[in-house]
Amino acid sequence: MRLAAFASGRGSNFEALLTARDRGNLPEAEFALLFSDKADARALDVARQRGIDTLHLSPKDFDTRAAYEEAILVVLREKQIEAICLAGYMRLVGDTLLEAYPRRILNIHPALLPSFPGLHGHRDALEYGVKISGCTVHFVDAGVDTGPIVVQRAVEVRDDDTEDILAARILLQEHEAYPEAVDLLTQGKLRVEDRRVIRLD
């Protein structure tokens, strides 16, 4: 399955996916494009170093989200992309992409959804005082981090955690959870029944 990864920043989850692929753990996945909304995203460098095609488009250059996503979609179609992995892509996905890739867009979020959606998952979990947090890989729908859940991993929250320390502990689990979910998707081993995602492995 030909995949595009979308990233806005560091790109460590994208790297984890590439590493999993290198190790033979994603036999049906081919990363054919890295898209970023940010010109200086480190993820773009990661892709270039690996010889993976990149695309950067700034939403500021488009009047509407639909126009922005149409421009992305032209390239996705050119490259025959079949599914999308959001990997630290800090933007809402609109109807244009959702309709082009129904149940074909995955996202990773640094909290145990449905708790603490949005841009500040770590901070919100710490401030709430939960004792367990983690990460969630889910299908993307029109809401904010609301789509059907594919994989979750839990970590403990310690009394002396800072946002950065908790984020680092969760990130280790993200790097395991995301390849697992992408492998299931690309091998056709996921069936979605309403909100529930059934693993066929």
Active site residues: 109
CA dist 181 and 190 (Å) reads 9
Please choose, out of 32-40, 69-77, 107-115, 184-192, the segment that lies near ligand GAR by the rule CB under 6 A.
Answer: 107-115
> Can you tell me which residue has the tokens 């995203």?
41
Residue closest to 56 by CA, chosen among 6, 95, 100, 11: 6
The size of the interface with ligand GAR (CB under 6 A), counted in residues, is 15
For ligand GAR, the binding residues in 150-179 under the rule CB under 6 A are 171, 174
Q: Closer CB to ligand GAR, residue 25 or residue 70?
A: 25
Q: How far is the CB of 22 from ligand GAR (least distance, A)?
A: 17
CA dist 135 and 154 (Å) reads 7
* Residue 148 binds ligand GAR, judged by CB under 6 A: no
Q: Closer CB to ligand GAR, residue 154 or residue 198?
A: 154
In the complex, residue closest to ligand GAR by CB: 88
Residue closest to 76 by CA, chosen among 62, 61, 57, 63: 57
For ligand GAR, the binding residues in 60-99 under the rule CB under 6 A are 87-88
Q: How far is the CB of 157 from ligand GAR (least distance, A)?
A: 15
* DSSP per position, 57-100: --GGGSSSHHHHHHHHHHHHHHTT--EEEESS--S---HHHHHH
Provide the binding-site residues for ligand GAR, judged by CB under 6 A: 7, 9-13, 87-88, 108-110, 119, 121, 171, 174
